[in-house]
Structure 1
Amino acid sequence: MRFTRLLLIPACLLASGCVATQQDMLQMQSQMDDLNNNLSTMQKNQAELAVKMDELSRNLNAFSENMKDISTQMGRLSDRLNGLDSSMNKRVNAIGRTIKKQQDEVNTTLLPAKLYNDAYNAYLNNNFDSAADGFKTYLEKFPEGELATPAYFYLGESLYVKERWQDAAVAYAHMLEKYPKSSRVPAARLKYAMTLLKLPGDKKSEALKYLRSVLQDFPKSPEAATAKDHIDRLSPPPGKANPRKKKA
């Protein structure tokens, strides 16, 4: 009985070993099936990826062609814009030249009058320094301007009031030299003579010459009477000069 039991032990061990081996085989078979399924899935995915890569390559080629077309169109557009820009620049430059010409015409017409009027208004308001500066500016910019004659005269007047005798004499002299037929000649000769009498040195004879020219050339002018008064004071008639007292 005991012997029989001993024989059963190896048989049981052998049977359990066979069972374990079959289970391992089944497990390995299952793993192989899973591996095959995974490989099949990977192959399928790889095929799909290859298709997508081909599609992407075609799309990239199409995109590249589109970019070339766009680049060509951009080049044409750039050329058109350059042409338009050049045309616009020409138009703007032409407009600028026209505006400048108009401004020059306006300045030529209005600026001289404005400079003169500003100076003359300063003169009327007894602001003789500003008046003198304004008339000088006018004459520097427009020496042959339509208002040059009165500008010279009132420049002399402004300087005369400020007792700048030498400068006033120069202004009157310029007017008399450049505009000998002006209606302001009688006044300019009179004031020039009066200015000469203010200068240092003996200017009496020259002053008398201009005073007498007022009487001779413009006897009916308002300045003639003033000139005569100055002449009488500077050269009284014979018999009235330096009267002497009679001895007692």
Structure 2
Amino acid sequence: MRRAVLLSLSLILGGCVPTADFVELRDEVRELQAEKRKLKETEAELRKRLEEADRLQKSGDVAPKVDALEAKIESLKLRQQGFDQKLGELLRRLDESTRREEGPALPQAKAPAPGVKPDDTAAAKPKAGGVDVPFAALTPTAAYNQAYNDYLKGNYDLAVAGFEEFLKKFPETSLTAHAQYWIGEAYFNKRSYLPAIEAYERVIANYPKSDKVPAALAKAGVAYAELGNFVKARGLLKRVVDEYPQSAEAALARRRLAELQ
């Protein structure tokens, strides 16, 4: 997503399209950037304190402090996800504004052929921002956000279908690994642990450099634990701790490993 963000921000902050909508978007993005910088600084400080606490963890007095620090880091991660969601919405609005300003209008939908129900033609077109648009006409960001919004609303089956369609249409974008990860999350929230594990393992195998790999490893471990396969669960959780010791997921992995002992 980082590449799409930088491209979109360059359009906003560079003032290429100085409309009222873009001025508003520019101000919102600047505020969002400032808040995210503060969050990253706070997280870095908490991680330093957590590392120090880990070194002193043999002391019984330190354990509650470690738990408190890990809880704060988890809270920061949730806030960052909220900011990412807001940024995704800004990008969606930017995509729509860009199409209005620079691109030709989408052709009007044709009337349904004789014998075809209107509902059948409508079902074949996903909606972006409440407007019927053929999926092929959506930008990668808009298509991704459409599926992600379904996930946030708890429409997990729709989210899975949307992300799978995204992967077919846009297999080489910066959002591809994230789409695969959210398929796993949707299945996990449905307690469908086997397909969730399969989705997480695709993230790990197909996108080894993605920032979603630590989360995929951790959640796959948790899913295996839910299925009673504690050997697999420990192996994956240990990988998170060993390979990504500074990640927020490592804190989760340490707690789950302690519970599985």
TM-score range, shorter chain: 0.3 to 0.5
What TM-score, normalized by structure 2, do the two folds share? Answer: 0.46
Q: Which has the greater radius of gyration? A: 1
**Structure with more contact order per residue of length (Cα contacts < 8 Å, sep ≥ 6):** 2
